[in-house]
Structure 1
Amino acid sequence: MTHSDALDPRELRAWIAFLAASHLLENRIEQQLKHDGGLTHPEFEVLVKLAMSDGRRLRMSDLAREVMVSKSRLTYQVTQLERDGLVRRTACDSDRRAVWAELTDRGREALEKVRPGHRRVVRENLIDLLTPEELEVLGEAFTRVAQRLSG
């Protein structure tokens, strides 16, 4: 089969189910984050990456790679987060062209406020519906897809 061939029924079913599930789950997560903390999903991901990083900060270029968005899109998200006092930008001492994004105490508090609901939504609508074997297969499969798309 060449890459230009139409999807067979099994492939089409998998593709349509993936699209539906990913869109519906994304919408549910977005609703929960907005309701619990006034955050968008991309803003939440920025806060999570900063919280997990050394010193709760990353260079903007590294953060863009981590959250898989363009630098201009990240700049917009960080500007919104900075306006709300959740992130602060500072100059990098060792590289004048680089800028750090740093999670503030208020940002950490905002993250703590939305995380329980986020975990609940992910568990109820994905994790708890799958067997351990299915989770293993999905983890391996989507890791492979992500590596293809990011490489």
Structure 2
Amino acid sequence: MTTPVPDRLRLDQQICFSLNAASRAFGGVYRVLLKDLGLTYPQYLVMLVLWEHGELPVKKLGEHLRLDSGTLSPLLKRLEAAALVVRERSERDERSVRVRPTEAGTALRERAAEVPLRIAAATGFDLAEVQDLRARLDRLTAALDAFGPASAPAPS
């Protein structure tokens, strides 16, 4: 059964709007939870990658976060000013900059350990629901990444 055209154009029928609204709601919760850590949500994501992988080239960090260097550089600059990371040019390739957490940045990990638990609690979902949603969103992201003009579905 297809949805009548006028109904397809209702805001409450748009998956993009639901995802955007959920993202903004998450942003509000993260803003509150990260305030005590002195981090913004994007800075928190940078620290998550560095806590997981240790020292990385900026390019690799950007790949993990799906961010370009123009977006990532100001984030790293602020984290460096807060003494949470150090940026250094690679000795082998001067064009490459490596980033690593400082001692203070590494210590912050302990204080951040409760954030994922508090976020999960804020969703009202049980662990299985959170894992299922994450898996579905990962599948959605992969499908959208693979989407190209040649693969555009025909309107029905």
CA offsets, 1:13-62, max 9 Å, x none? 7554433332112211122101x211001001101101111xx1110011
More helix, by proportion: 1
Call closer, same or farther: CA 1:88–1:136 in 2, change over 3 Å. closer
Matched, 1:52 2:48: no
**Matched residue of 1:38: which SS?**
coil
CA offsets, 1:51-98, max 9 Å, x none? 111xx1110011111111121111000000001110001111222210
1:80 aligned partner: 78
- Report the residue type matching 1:108 in the other structure: T
How much identity, in percent, do the aligned residues show? 21
User: What is the 5 A alignment of 1:105-144?
Assistant: 105-116=103-114, 118-126=115-123, 128-130=124-126, 132=128, 134-144=129-139
Call closer, same or farther: CA 1:120–1:130 in 2, change over 3 Å. closer
Highest CA radius of gyration, 1 or 2?
A: 2
Matched, 1:30 2:51: no
1:136: how far off?
4.9
Q: How many residues align?
A: 143
TM-score normalised according to structure 1 size: 0.79
> Runs of 5+ in structure 2 lacking a partner?
147-156
TM-score normalised according to structure 2 size: 0.77
Give the RMSD, CA atoms, in angstroms: 2.7
Structure 2 Cα separation of the partners of residues 68 and 5 of structure 1:
35
